[in-house]
Amino acid sequence: MSTEEDCKIIHSGTNSRTIVSHVSEEGIEALKNWIKSGHEGKSAAFSVETLSRVRLDKSPDFINMSSPDSVHFSFYSKCLAKRNPYAMYLQSLRLGFCSLDMKGAISLLNDCKDVIPIAKLLYIALNRCAGNEVLDAFNTFKRENKCFTDVDIMAKTLIDHISDLEPKRFGSYAELFHYEDYPDCWVIHEFYNEYNGERCSHCVYFFLFRDILLLS
């Protein structure tokens, strides 16, 4: 069903909030049409149900919207106030890499990590930076994300998200960082002349945590 058809239902029916909440899966861009459609659409778009669920991550402005300069900052702040997991993930990135408030970042991630896989990955990585292994969360993540390609893409997305925030890059968390030697597979990569950053399901995490430390 198109957004236009949905809008007609909103004006005629009583389930507007449920419908908008469903459309919120499509992100901010889809919501803009609802806000323009009139008073009822607007109140539905700003309903608690929508603010707490809308897929902010689908917007091209996702990382930038946590900056006060963004046109989406006000909407983002409303979502954050309603504990929207995508807003919480974004705020944790800002706290962890711009304000260097690791405790604040981990606390927010703790509340959204079971909804967004990339938030769980960041939760594990930031805990690593804090010297905590959080093995239960790590084992759960590995059990839930068995496909190497998916994890590799998620790791690259996470690095992109952090890089877009212009992090400090001082290795600010180096003192507490949980160090480990090179993973066992390093010898195998060397045997196959894989010197160009090839990763496998064993070392993808090792290099991700190290890169995150370097970006902090």
Using the rule CB under 5 A, give the single segment among 50-58, 94-102, 118-126, 202-210 that binds Zn ion. Answer: 202-210
What minimum distance in Å lies between the beta carbon of 130 and Zn ion? Answer: 25
Smaller CB distance to Zn ion: residue 87 or 203?
203
User: How far is residue 139's CA from residue 208's CA, in Å, rounded to a whole number?
Assistant: 16
Amino acid 53 reads R
Which 8-state DSSP code applies to residue 15? -
* The two structure tokens encoding residue 92: 């944790």
**Interface with Zn ion (CB under 5 A), residue from 78, 185, 207, 211:** 185
CA 89 to chain centre: 5
Residue 203 in contact with Zn ion, rule: CB under 5 A: yes
Distance of CA 86 to the CA centre of its chain: 6
Is the Cβ of residue 89 or residue 141 nearer to Zn ion in the bound state? Answer: 141
Shortest Cβ 199–Zn ion spacing (Å): 6
Is position 118 an interface residue for Zn ion (rule: CB under 5 A)?
A: no
In the complex, minimum distance from the CB of residue 157 to Zn ion, in angstroms, rounded to a whole number: 20
Q: How far apart are CA 75 and CA 14, in angstroms?
A: 24
Size of the site for Zn ion (CB under 5 A): 4
Residue of 98, 100, 115, 200 interacting with Zn ion (CB under 5 A): 200
Listed residue (120, 146, 147) closest to 134, CA to CA:
120
- For binding to Zn ion (CB under 5 A), which residues are involved? 185, 200, 202-203
